[in-house]
Amino acid sequence: MEMVGRISKGTIMDQIYIPKNRIGLAAGSYVVIKPLESEKVIERPYFYNVKSIEPIKLEIVNAAISIINEEINNENIIITGSFLEKGFGFNDIDIIIISENKSRNILSLKNNLKEKTGVGFHIIILDNQSLIKGLQTDPLYQMMLSKCISKKRILYKIKTEVNFKILDLYLLKSELLIDNFDILKGDEKYYLIRNSVVISLYLKHKKINKEIVDNEIKKIFGLKNIDEIKENMLDKEKFLKKYKMFHSQVFKKILEGIKNGSKQEKAA
């Protein structure tokens, strides 16, 4: 039996009135009084390809969603990135906020989240159309949402559109690995390698998620474990020889796509 009442100010003691005609709560019964606000139900977020997560991380997820809900009107909140991997090797938490309110001060929100959770956040605010466009043309968006936790169910029917010029710009990032191999950290090398492999899979219209990409990296570069990259255990000469060849092949496919696209535009 639960009843909701309001505290009224009395002359000697404050009091709560409840209806006389009621089932249960007989006169003389002992009851617990607590604020109604404490009964707020925390909605369970949706998990996509996240098989397990540490309890402390789940607490952070729920806290972050609650804080963002208070500060900005949103249609959805999506947590992604290395935070969802086992352990605590992440630098910050990647969050995509789906909202029409793009004018929100992200720095203020970041500071508030860090102050209340003790963790740094990388935040992107997108409207629904921008997210859909990103998923259609950007393989890294597909990679991000292949493993995530969201406030609401994610329901998008996406038809992939290959934009070779965008892919060319993304692949350009991965050239940094060739010229800066000695000074890059293991995680930075992994990011650049993953970037080029994601593009390669995307061009082949293959499914993209972390497990598939990691397996492809091991297959292409003859690695037993991804940690060989992350822990800076690569044989520079042997690896770069394979990487330059692979990078050149991916670039060639993109260049062909750009040229064919130009021919089609002229014909039109």
Q: Is the pLDDT of residue 264 over 50?
A: no
Average pLDDT over residues 157-164: 83
Q: Is the pLDDT of residue 39 over 80?
A: no
Q: Is 133 or 34 the better-scoring residue by pLDDT?
A: 133
Per-residue confidence band for 36, with pLDDT thresholds at 50, 70 and 90? low
Q: Is the pLDDT of residue 37 over 80?
A: no
Per-residue confidence band for 267, with pLDDT thresholds at 50, 70 and 90? very low
* Tens of pLDDT, residues 120-136: 999 999 998 899 888 88
Tokens linked to 129 = 């159309």
Complete DSSP assignment for the chain: ------EE--SSS-EE---SS-SS--TT-------GGGG---PPPEEES-----HHHHHHHHHHHHHHHHHS--SEEEEESGGGSSSS--SSEEEEEE-S-TTS-HHHHHHHHHHHHS--EEEEEE-HHHHHHHHHH-HHHHHHHTSEEESS-----------HHHHHHHHHHTTHHHHSTTTS-HHHHHHHHHHHHHHHHHHTT----HHHHHHHHHHHHT-S-THHHHTT---HHHHHHHHHHHHHHHHHHHHHHHHHHHHHHHH-
Predicted local distance difference test score (pLDDT) of residue 89: 77
Predicted local distance difference test score (pLDDT) of residue 23: 63
State the architecture of 46-150 in CATH terms: 2-Layer Sandwich (3.30)
Average pLDDT over residues 174-191: 93
Q: Is the pLDDT of residue 49 over 80?
A: yes
Average pLDDT over residues 169-177: 92
User: Which residue type occupies 103?
Assistant: S
Q: Is the pLDDT of residue 229 over 50?
A: yes
Per-residue confidence band for 236, with pLDDT thresholds at 50, 70 and 90? very high
Q: Is the pLDDT of residue 180 over 90?
A: yes
Q: Is the pLDDT of residue 265 over 50?
A: no
Q: Is the pLDDT of residue 13 over 80?
A: yes
Predicted local distance difference test score (pLDDT) of residue 30: 78
Q: Is the pLDDT of residue 19 over 80?
A: no
Q: How far is CA 39 from CA 29, 55, 65, 182, in A?
A: 22, 21, 17, 55
Q: Is 67 or 263 the better-scoring residue by pLDDT?
A: 67
Predicted local distance difference test score (pLDDT) of residue 2: 64
- Rounded Cα distance between 208 and 201, Å, is 7
Predicted local distance difference test score (pLDDT) of residue 268: 42
Per domain, the residue ranges of the chain are: 46-150, 164-267
Q: Model-level pTM?
A: 0.72
Predicted local distance difference test score (pLDDT) of residue 1: 55
Q: Lowest mean pLDDT: which of 11-15, 167-171, 224-228?
A: 11-15
Tokens linked to 27 = 């006169």
Per-residue confidence band for 6, with pLDDT thresholds at 50, 70 and 90? confident
Q: What is the mean pLDDT of the chain?
A: 87
